[in-house]
């Protein structure tokens, strides 16, 4: 013989909503991690930002733009960092009064 539990409609809706949230959390936990951020070479990053290579390296040396060491001579830059750079250091043009 099987046991049966009688629930009110409110309790049933509460339990099904909770179960749905748990299933969504489990699905999010099992989702694959996001792809790694693309690392661009100095030349690619300079072209992407519209700067010269020397300006880009100067910004890296000044600490305004973090770089990633590719090898002993070359630096790379993450695309997400490059996307934030122009907005952070952009100087708005002055509107004539």
Helices and strands in the chain, H and E counts: 4, 3
Q: Is 46 within a domain?
A: yes
pLDDT digits (tens, 9 = 90+) for 32-55: 776 778 899 999 998 888 888 998
Is 65:81 a contact under the CB 8 Å cutoff?
Answer: yes
pLDDT digits (tens, 9 = 90+) for 65-89: 999 999 888 899 999 888 888 655 5
Cβ neighbors of 17 (< 8 A, separation 6 or more) are none
Q: Is 17 within a domain?
A: no
Task: Give the pLDDT confidence score for residue 10 in this predicted structure.
Answer: 94
Q: What is the extent of the structural domain holding 52?
A: 39-89
Q: Provide the domain count of the chain.
A: 1
Q: Is 78 within a domain?
A: yes
Say yes or no to pLDDT of 58 above 80: yes
pLDDT band at 91 (very low <50, low <70, confident <90, very high): low
């Amino acid at each position: 013989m099987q046991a049966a539990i009688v629930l009110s409609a409110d309790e049933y809706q509460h339990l099904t909503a909770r179960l749905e949230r748990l299933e969504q959390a489990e699905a999010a936990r099992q989702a694959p991690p996001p792809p790694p951020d693309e690392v661009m070479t100095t030349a690619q990053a300079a072209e992407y930002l519209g700067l010269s290579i020397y300006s880009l390296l100067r910004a890296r040396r000044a600490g305004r733009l973090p770089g990633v060491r590719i090898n002993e001579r070359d630096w790379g830059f993450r695309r997400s960092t490059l996307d934030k750079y122009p907005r952070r250091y952009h100087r708005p043009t002055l509107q004539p009064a």
